[in-house]
Amino acid sequence: MTINKNVTKIIFFIGFWAVFYSQAVLWRNYLAERTGRQPELNFMNAQYHFQRGIEYGSEEELYKAVKLDPTNPHTHHKLASYYVSFYAGARLDRAYEEYRKAMLFADEKFLSKILQDAYDNAQNIQRLKEIVPNTGKARYLFAEFLRDKNIYDEAILEFKQAALMSGQARNNKILAGSYNWIAIIYMWQGRFADAVEYFDKAFFCARENVLKSWILRNLGNTYAGMEDFKKAESACKKSIESDPSAAANYYTLGNVYDKIGLPRQARDCYYTALKFTNDRYLLEQISKKLKEINS
């Protein structure tokens, strides 16, 4: 049996380029290592395997991408999603391990998405607590996540944990923000004395005037809930001093005056608030208040 000469040429051509390509890859890797470009090469190779993993739904390709670029949160997140979808919940332990690794390297926006995906796949808050990184930023975002789910007691615990870690790291923004949200949740729950305590802590840690103004406005609302209107008025006026262009500050002070029977002062505050807002909800609330006063 004879082999066609053209077939022989094709086989030779394929073999030649296969050997050439493999040698080229070896030289590329060698030069990358010698010139310090190995991380760049790893990233490029990881992207190749990442795309193949997505295209073919391949755990092997995704795992190769993770090994080549272990600090890429998107690769870990995609591998976690693969474990959830392909194995229908049978490999949640592996999925949660990849979610944990993804969170370690994710920015604020992407970390929130990872939290949501992990929660949707298990509906298990305790598992989430176990995989959230022990940093002030991550704990703060987790606390916000719990707050938005109306899981308030757990949110308070996480905000306190975030405050502790942020205090150790001297991150005043997260520290003040954590105390502020603890106080707000206490205010929602009617625990006014506890709310005042944490608003005071938040104000002491705050550095930005906008944040100080928000804290003081919340403090004013809390004192109003306690029917201590003198302190409520004082806190609201201080919030205006900190941020004189915030419509909500004037609106809150107007509410205080309205409650203590000072309609002229309340009206002035509401009209001033109108000058500083385009927010539809706030505009509706101010309009309602003005109609009540003017009727």
Q: For the domain made up of 134-207, give the CATH fold.
A: 1.25.40
Q: What is the pLDDT along the chain (295 residues), one digit of tens a residue?
A: 455 555 555 655 565 555 554 555 554 454 444 444 445 556 567 677 777 777 777 778 777 877 878 888 888 888 888 888 776 666 788 888 888 989 988 888 888 899 888 888 766 788 888 889 888 889 999 999 999 999 999 999 999 999 999 887 788 899 999 999 999 999 999 999 999 999 999 999 999 999 999 999 999 999 999 999 999 999 999 999 999 999 999 999 999 999 999 999 999 999 999 999 999 999 999 999 999 998 8
User: In sequence order, what are the residues at sequence separation of 6 or more whose Cβ sits closer than 8 angstroms to the Cβ of residue 204?
Assistant: none
For residue 58, the model assigns a pLDDT of 74
Query: For domain 39-119, which architecture applies?
Result: Alpha Horseshoe (1.25)
- Which of the following CATH numbers is that of domain 208-295: 1.25.40.10, 2.120.10.10, 1.10.8.870, 3.30.450.70? 1.25.40.10
CA 93 distance to own-chain centroid: 23
User: In sequence order, what are the residues at sequence separation of 6 or more whose Cβ sits closer than 8 angstroms to the Cβ of residue 238?
Assistant: 216
84, 122 Cβ separation under 8 angstroms: no
Residues of the chain with CATH 1.25.40.10: 39-119, 134-207, 208-295
CA distance 170 to 174: 9
